[in-house]
């Protein structure tokens, strides 16, 4: 079946620190990969996506590269801000709009 495993949190960082959240997946087929973010009090929002191997998704300073050889899609940001405090979810889809999510990683950035 399809599954996503992501780094357990919570993660607490200082402003301007480097953030990495690991995500690996298993899938029957060739999935699209996503990172969703949920800010406090809001719904899930798509942060970035990649639809095929070696694609790099990027948005708001975040990046993730679709690595087929390691079945990974790690999220990175070089310099985090307090406003990046949120819950981050890695997810995959086999293009049927049904998403398989990781457990979510809570990130708190301190000023």
Residue numbers of the site for other proteins (CB under 8 A)? 4, 34, 36, 41-46, 49, 89, 97-104
Residue with tokens 């953030």: 19
* Angle made by CA atoms 11, 17, 19, in degrees to the nearest 5: 50
Coil/strand/helix, residue 92? strand
Q: Choose between 12 and 79: whose C-beta lies nearer to other proteins.
A: 12
C-beta of 17 vs 24, nearer to other proteins: 24
Q: How far is the CB of 102 from other proteins (least distance, A)?
A: 6
> Over the range 51-87, which residues count as b (16 or more CB within 10 Å of their CB) and which as e?
eeeeeebeeeebbbbbeeeebbbbbebeebeeebbbb
Please report how close the Cβ of residue 14 comes to other proteins at its closest, in angstroms. 25
Residue 29 vs 43, nearer CB to other proteins: 43
User: Phi/psi class of residue 71: alpha, beta or left (left: φ > 0; alpha: ψ in -120 to 50)?
Assistant: left
* Minimum gap (Å) between residue 94 Cβ and other proteins: 12
| Complex with other proteins: residue 28 or 69, whichever CB lies closer | 28
Q: How far is the CB of 109 from other proteins (least distance, A)?
A: 21
């Amino acid at each position: 079946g399809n599954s996503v495993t992501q780094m357990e949190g919570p993660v607490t960082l200082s402003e301007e620190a480097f953030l990495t959240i690991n995500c690996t997946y298993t899938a029957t087929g060739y999935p699209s990969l996503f990172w969703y973010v949920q800010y406090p009090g809001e719904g899930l929002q798509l942060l970035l996506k990649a639809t095929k191997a070696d694609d790099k998704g990027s948005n708001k300073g975040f990046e993730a590269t679709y690595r087929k050889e390691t079945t990974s899609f790690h999220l990175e940001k070089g310099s985090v801000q307090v406003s990046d405090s949120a819950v981050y979810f890695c997810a995959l889809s086999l293009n049927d709009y049904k998403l398989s999510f990781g457990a979510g990683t809570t990130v708190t950035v301190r000023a």
